A and B are shown apart, each in its own frame.
Chain A
Amino acid sequence: MQQTSDNFIAAATEALHNDYQQATRDFLGQMAPKATAAARANFGDWDALRAHVKRIREHSLDHLAYYLEQYEAAAQADGVQVHWAEDADALNRRVLEICREHGARRVAKGKSMVTEETGLTPYLESAGLTVTETDLGEYIVQQAGEPPSHIVGPALHKSVDEVRELFLRKHDLGERALDGPPELVAEARTVLRDTFLQADVGIIGANALIAESGHSMLVTNEGNGDLVANLPAVRIVCTTIDRVVPRAEDATAMLRLLVRSATGQSVTAYTSFYGGSRREEEQDGPTETHVILLDNHRGEMLEGPFRDMLHCIRCGNCLTHCPIYVAAGGHAYGWVYPGPMGSVLTPLLTSLEASSALPNACTACGRCAEICPADIPLPDLLRDLREEESQQRLNPRRWRLGIRWHARLLRFPRLYHGLSRIAIAALHRLGRRRGAFQSLWLAEGWTGQRDFPAPQSSTTFMQEYRQQSRQSLHSQKAQHDGE
């Protein structure tokens, strides 16, 4: 997918000016935190679960090679063909090879952020295949020619009216009313039914890989994942190496966190565990099953300072808790993963150079880290990325030098206090009458949309305090002399 993360600020401004979409995002930003908070409150000991899953994930990552080998062996014993892909291109090529081996023309896809990351759909399309997304949200954005705006709800930015117009335009089904969501869903279901039945290959993702059994776990609310996984002759599971956990109960412990944090439900409508292909005595299921394990920088992350990010379970809760995501919208982030988790992942999975605005899209308010079910210190990771930016000189020179000189000056208290006295006296004199400045040299970023409050006094506190201490010393001395 074409990355436009470097355009974040301008894209966010544009999004802010779309009143309808802003209102939709504001609503989402109010409702989603309430829904997930209620789900957490109804669970019981949420913090204990969070700590438990964190230990599982840490243990799994500490022994990643071991559990991946165990997974591979168990999956192979179940008849699954396991492939390893170093990068996006390797995954895409492998999928195309499998499709070609089977002379496939039609591909049905379940929801998968990993294949968004590798750009699989355009890759297969450019090779002449027809690829159809079957998750309703993904289907809508695919029909609209847009990327997802949210990792769990890809079409959350679209209104019912927009979807209605889209379906009327895209589906050749004659005149019809399509009034309201039930009719829209029914139509999508009808259209997609043929996709499921005609697909030669079904591609799905995985929420977890279970090492002991070689199974992959997938949760959906629409059941499309199961149709994609079981109706076509060939099933391909595309996922990443960091999804592996030792046991089935580890996957389901994670599931409890995931579902509540993603949608506020206590369980998804469908939770499926996939093993190998159809057995001889069985009537349905694919005749061939593949799992492709993508690395794409996860190995580097495992060894580096951003390892905590591998704990992410892709619930999307940090997105709707982030006022910057709510303001800017998912598309402004310019790649696959938006919001706080995206601002960390995008530089790590693409390059810091191509996404240097993203680590700055944070006020360090800490709301994301507070609710993150994987307990990832997102604001700290973003600060660490800003440090890398600063070291690589990717941040604007003006800012870098400004911060540097300010910090240098602060090391000399007498000089700093002396200079600030002069500056504050001048600012106070200039701003006293109005109380605030409407524009100020070197502070345009501030004064573009806010006044800059003038200093309250012509003196700094440190100056006033010193004067007062001196006076009280004088009066004590005078008193002493007088006695």
Chain B
Amino acid sequence: MEPRHSERGAPSPHVGLFVTCLADLFRPSVAWASLTLLERAGCRVSVPSAQTCCGQPAYNSGDKARAVPLAKSVIRAFEGLDYVVAPSGSCAGMLKVHYPRLLEGEWRQRAEHLAQRTWELSAFLTEVTPLPLPANRPDAGHVAFHDSCAGLRELGVREQPRHLLRQQCSADIAELDNRDVCCGFGGTFCAKMPDISTKMCDDKLKAVSATGAPTLVGGDLGCLLNLAGRARRQGQNLQVRHFAELLVGDINQPAIGESGD
């Protein structure tokens, strides 16, 4: 197959989309939106069918031995590609920061090689292949933004999604006064220590509510499922969406946890 070329004539980068298990199972629209955005940025996108999950549940639960084969299979599935991009700071951080720590010897080298080419979606679309402005800019309106911890602290993702939301869909972004603080998801933490987790989630939702924004946007489905689930239980009227959905203007379908009927 002839490599496609972008307008400037440089060969288009071949990107492997790391779908993430949560987008695969609970929110395919996030993966479709990511695919669309990457193609719009001039990338050739593949979705390796051997991918399942980055292995964080086992890794963070202390079962490193069982995270190792998962890490190796992700490396095998993606190492022939120019880049790996994930619509999640947490999963991208696992590949980028934790795989090299988890693996040893030759596999550590392979992990480091992959880590250098692994990106969180918004960082990739601002720092590697800038996203061109769409012909018709959707209007995202007033949105509150939630920073996810792994993206923020492991990958330095803070301004990138905000920049894209403003530039691509004229978002009016409200900042949360506790934006540096975790929402209480933490993978299995939220089910192991539900009372503490709920308190943290409520603190976050209170801050969202104080902004008056009808929509909460973030870049990690773990946090978003947690926040949407708690908002629903509390009867808080809030639309929770992934930023990729807003960037492609995909806002007519139900928000996370909302009824489709």
A residues contacting B by CB (< 8 A) are 9, 12-13, 16, 26, 30, 33, 323-324, 327-328, 359-367, 369-370, 383-391, 395, 399-400, 403-404, 406-408, 410-411, 413, 416-417, 420, 423-424, 432-436, 438, 443, 445-446, 448-457, 459-462, 464-466
Stretch at the interface among B115-123, B138-146, B149-157, B158-166: B149-157
- Find residues 196-229 in chain B having any chain A CB closer than 8 Å to their own CB: 196-201, 203, 225-226, 228-229
Q: Is B53 an interface residue (CB 8 A)?
A: yes
Q: Does B60 contact A364, Cβ atoms closer than 8 Å?
A: yes
B258 CB contacts on chain A under 8 angstroms: 435-436
- Find residues 1-48 in chain B having any chain A CB closer than 8 Å to their own CB: 19, 23-29, 31-32, 47
Q: Does A389 contact B70, Cβ atoms closer than 8 Å?
A: no
The 8 A CB mask of B250-261 against A (1 = contact, 0 = none) is: 000110111111
Given contacts A367-B153, A410-B55, A453-B229, contact A445 B194 (CB under 8 A): yes
* Cα-based distance from A12 to B190 in the complex (angstroms): 14
Q: Is B100 an interface residue (CB 8 A)?
A: no
Q: What band does the interface of chain B fall in when counting residues whose beta carbon is under 8 Å from A?
A: 35 or more
* Cα-based distance from A343 to B68 in the complex (angstroms): 26
| Chain B residue with the shortest CB-CB distance to A468 | B32
Q: Does B62 contact A386, Cβ atoms closer than 8 Å?
A: yes
B residues contacting A by CB (< 8 A) are 19, 23-29, 31-32, 47, 49-53, 55, 57-64, 66-67, 69-70, 73, 149-150, 153-154, 178, 180-182, 184-201, 203, 225-226, 228-230, 232-233, 253-254, 256-261
New contact pairs (12) apart from A367-B182, A457-B29, CB-CB < 8 Å: A362-B189, A363-B185, A366-B150, A391-B62, A408-B66, A410-B53, A411-B70, A450-B198, A450-B229, A451-B257, A456-B27, A461-B31
B259 CB contacts on chain A under 8 angstroms: 432-435
SS class of chain B's interface: helix, strand, loop or mixed?
helix
Contact of A406 among B26, B57, B153, B190 (CB under 8 A): B57
B77 vs chain A, min Cβ distance (A): 9
A423 CB contacts on chain B under 8 angstroms: 25
Q: Does A454 contact B153, Cβ atoms closer than 8 Å?
A: no
* Cα-based distance from A438 to B178 in the complex (angstroms): 28
Q: Does A399 contact B188, Cβ atoms closer than 8 Å?
A: yes
* Cα-based distance from A323 to B196 in the complex (angstroms): 9
B260 CB contacts on chain A under 8 angstroms: 432, 435, 456
Q: Does A406 contact B58, Cβ atoms closer than 8 Å?
A: yes
A446 CB contacts on chain B under 8 angstroms: 190-191, 194, 229
* Cα-based distance from A453 to B30 in the complex (angstroms): 15
B28 vs chain A, min Cβ distance (A): 4
A339 vs chain B, min Cβ distance (A): 13
B237 vs chain A, min Cβ distance (A): 13
* Cα-based distance from A261 to B233 in the complex (angstroms): 38
